[in-house]
């Protein structure tokens, strides 16, 4: 879509072009392991969502049967359950539609959300969600808010209500880098296709979770012992279906529509589960796909022993973390490099970052650090750790190259202006406060201190007359020679020495030509 823009300077155009090139370079340098991690998380979330949908479908089926058996008693709760199904499916389907739109924008009309080709594409999600006039980010934002407000009113358990509200919140964290951004920009702006699809899959998972909590609240209002039930089923309710290696798989095993005064017997692998609440736990020491089988036995009202078999699958994934330099994929020695760290599914408050290889690392806000390496040409290693289930677990290591800060560009300070060469009035030159230097390329904005420079003038015979300044200001002799120059004459400033925040003094290449105007 063509968008009318204000005219911008050639310099700003160049900065914009450099930013586009940088973003392309960043896209090319996105680790395939990170993108594969998003795919693994998306697959696991889809499996978890499918299991939650099956569990919810079982509750809907129970509502159907109980409504047929006693419509007068069940109608109120049955109607509310149907409304929950309607609004949950609406938000779920919207998320699915947006996933398809993003993948098709990234991979073309034949794009498949289960087999994304251009996973690193940074433009597709931004276009689908944020394009002026056609972006659907506001639509999703409004739909989530409306669903959250409707669904939490029907949850009676205050703890579960807070969990659902937290899962479906649309607030933007109060951080310096998020100022001025709305929720949809914070979530989808320059987000890789693979990550955007995973975010929407998580939303679908949260919707099915919220739907299940409401259905449990609704069905608890029905006296099950008063209604004839002709089918009983065993259910496994896991706390999570994707486990980080070293963590624990935890699940509650129940039989639907049972008398709470008669606890069933649970058997796994031929051994009875010794847990009064039906909670099964097993340690997860290796990655892969796993499953366990068993059965539940209980007595019905007629004294008959009823048995129902069950099987549950779950996945264990390796720890996944990301550490990124906020400017680019290298660090500068002696400079305060801003860093960001995150681990999917773990709050930043439970994540810590350490650095080895020389230098210092200082916390700078939630999930933010300042890294200041010392040795040029070496590598520094960052180690990410997280607090999981009361213990500290390493989530990954990341290496970054350490380079020397690039040379700055010198300029004459002329009031609020920076003169970098060309024509300048004699009065402006005489009033110039000092010579300075800085890196200002649209990414870095780093001032340097000038410690000396040399000016070169030419006499009437064309002979060069050098004059040296041991500081950042013109000497009296240099100003006298500038004062003698007539209009159209020129002189040169060279051998400029400057010191940056890394403490290294360098002599800048090239010379600045000044023409008296």
Q: How many residues does the chain have?
A: 517
Classify residue 13: in a domain, yes or no: no
What's the CA gap between 130 and 191, in Å, rounded?
A: 11
Q: Are residues 212 and 129 in the same domain?
A: yes
* Reported pTM: 0.41
Q: Are residues 353 and 398 in the same domain?
A: yes
Classify residue 370: in a domain, yes or no: yes
Q: Which residues pair with 409 in a beta bridge?
A: 438
429 three-state secondary structure? helix
Q: What is the pLDDT of residue 439?
A: 87
Count of CB atoms within 10 A of residue 41's CB? Answer: 20
CATH number at residue 498: 2.60.40
Q: What is the pLDDT of residue 4?
A: 40
Q: Are residues 338 and 277 in the same domain?
A: no
Classify residue 10: in a domain, yes or no: no
Q: What is the pLDDT of residue 255?
A: 62
Which tokens hold the place of 365? 């806000």
Q: Are residues 83 and 218 in the same domain?
A: yes
Q: How many domains does one find in the chain? A: 4
Minimal CA–CA distance to 84: which of 202, 217, 240? 217
- Whether the CB-CB separation of 355 and 371 falls below 8 Å is answered with yes
Q: What is the pLDDT of residue 32?
A: 56
What's the CA gap between 27 and 123, in Å, rounded?
A: 10
Dihedral sign for Cα atoms in the order 86, 91, 96, 100: positive
Residue 287 class from Cβ within 10 Å (0-12 exposed, 13-18 middle, 19+ buried)? middle
**Final residue belonging to a domain, choices 189, 206, 227:** 227
User: What is the torsion angle, in degrees rounded to the nearest 10, for the CA atoms of residue 269, residue 208, residue 192 and residue 16?
Assistant: -160
Task: Kindly give the parts of the chain with pLDDT less than 70.
Answer: 1-40, 222-249, 254-263, 287-288, 299-304, 314-329, 345, 389, 441-443
Residue 112 per-residue DSSP state: B
Q: What is the pLDDT of residue 296?
A: 87
Q: Are residues 460 and 509 in the same domain?
A: yes
Classify residue 481: in a domain, yes or no: yes
User: What is the separation of C-alpha 331 from the centre of its chain, rounded to a whole number of angstroms?
Assistant: 21
- Whether the CB-CB separation of 91 and 80 falls below 8 Å is answered with no
Q: What is the pLDDT of residue 457?
A: 95
**Final residue belonging to a domain, choices 403, 434, 462:** 403
Burial 318-350 (b: 16+ CB within 10 A, else e): ebbbbbbbeebeebbbbbebebbbbbbebebee
What's the CA gap between 485 and 482, in Å, rounded?
A: 5
Domain that includes residue 206, residue range: 19-227
Classify residue 151: in a domain, yes or no: yes
452-496 pLDDT per residue, tens = 999 999 988 889 999 999 999 999 999 999 999 999 999 999 999
Q: What is the pLDDT of residue 445?
A: 78
Q: Which residues pair with 290 in a beta bridge?
A: 314
- Whether the CB-CB separation of 374 and 358 falls below 8 Å is answered with yes
390: left (phi over 0), alpha (psi -120 to 50) or beta: left
Q: What is the pLDDT of residue 95?
A: 92
320-357 pLDDT per residue, tens = 566 666 556 688 898 888 888 888 767 788 889 999 98
10-19 contacts, C-beta under 8 A, 24 or more apart: 15/441, 15/442, 16/442, 18/441, 18/442, 18/443, 19/442, 19/443
**Final residue belonging to a domain, choices 374, 403, 432:** 403
Dihedral sign for Cα atoms in the order 87, 93, 95, 97: negative
Which tokens hold the place of 269? 């692998």
Q: Are residues 103 and 91 in the same domain?
A: yes
């Amino acid at each position: 879509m063509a968008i009318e823009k204000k005219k911008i300077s050639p310099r700003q155009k160049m900065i914009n072009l450099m930013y586009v090139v940088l973003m392309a370079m960043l896209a090319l340098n996105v680790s395939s392991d990170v993108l594969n991690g998003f795919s693994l998380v998306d697959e696991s979330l889809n499996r978890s969502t499918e299991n939650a949908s099956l569990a919810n479908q079982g509750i809907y089926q129970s509502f159907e049967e109980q409504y047929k058996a006693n419509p007068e008693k069940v109608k109120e709760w049955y109607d509310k359950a149907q409304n929950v199904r309607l609004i949950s499916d609406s938000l779920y389907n919207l998320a699915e539609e947006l996933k398809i739109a993003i993948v098709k924008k990234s991979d073309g009309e034949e794009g498949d959300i289960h087999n994304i080709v251009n996973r690193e594409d940074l433009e597709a999600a931004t276009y689908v969600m944020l394009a002026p006039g056609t972006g659907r980010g506001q639509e999703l934002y409004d739909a989530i808010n409306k669903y959250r407000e409707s669904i939490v009113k029907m949850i009676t358990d205050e703890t579960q209500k807070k969990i659902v509200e937290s899962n479906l919140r649309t607030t933007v964290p109060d951080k310096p880098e998020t100022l001025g951004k709305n929720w949809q920009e914070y979530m989808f702006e320059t987000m890789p296709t693979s990550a955007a699809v995973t975010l929407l899959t998580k939303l679908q998972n949260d919707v099915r979770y919220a739907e299940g909590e409401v259905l449990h609240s609704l069905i608890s209002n029905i006296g099950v012992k008063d209604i004839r039930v002709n089918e009983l089923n065993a259910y496994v309710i896991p706390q999570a279906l994707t486990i980080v290696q070293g963590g624990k798989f935890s699940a509650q095993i129940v039989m639907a529509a049972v008398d709470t005064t008669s606890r069933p017997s649970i058997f796994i692998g031929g051994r009875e589960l010794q847990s009064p609440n039906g909670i099964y736990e097993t340690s997860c020491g290796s990655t892969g796909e796993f499953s366990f089988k068993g059965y539940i036995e209980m007595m019905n009202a007629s004294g008959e022993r009823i048995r129902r078999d069950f099987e549950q699958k779950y996945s264990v994934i390796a720890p996944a973390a990301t550490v990124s330099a906020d400017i680019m994929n290298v660090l500068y020695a002696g400079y305060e490099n801003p860093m960001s760290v995150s681990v999917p599914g773990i709050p930043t408050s439970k994540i810590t970052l350490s650095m080895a290889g020389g230098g210092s690392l200082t916390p700078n806000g939630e999930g933010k650090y300042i890294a200041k390496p010392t040795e040029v040409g070496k590598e520094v290693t960052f180690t990410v750790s997280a607090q999981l289930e009361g213990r500290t677990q390493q989530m990954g290591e990341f290496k970054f190259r350490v380079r020397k800060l690039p040379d700055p560009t010198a300029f004459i300070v002329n009031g609020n202006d920076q003169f970098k060469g060309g024509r300048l009035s004699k009065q402006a030159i005489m009033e110039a406060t000092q010579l300075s230097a800085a890196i200002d390329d649209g990414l870095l904005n780093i001032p340097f201190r000038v410690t000396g420079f040399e000016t070169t003038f030419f006499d009437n015979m064309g002979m060069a007359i050098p004059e040296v300044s041991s500081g950042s200001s013109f000497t009296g002799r240099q100003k006298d020679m500038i004062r003698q120059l007539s209009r159209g004459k020129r002189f040169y400033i060279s051998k400029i020495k400057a010191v940056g925040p890394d403490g290294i003094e360098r002599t800048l290449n090239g010379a600045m030509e000044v023409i008296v105007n």
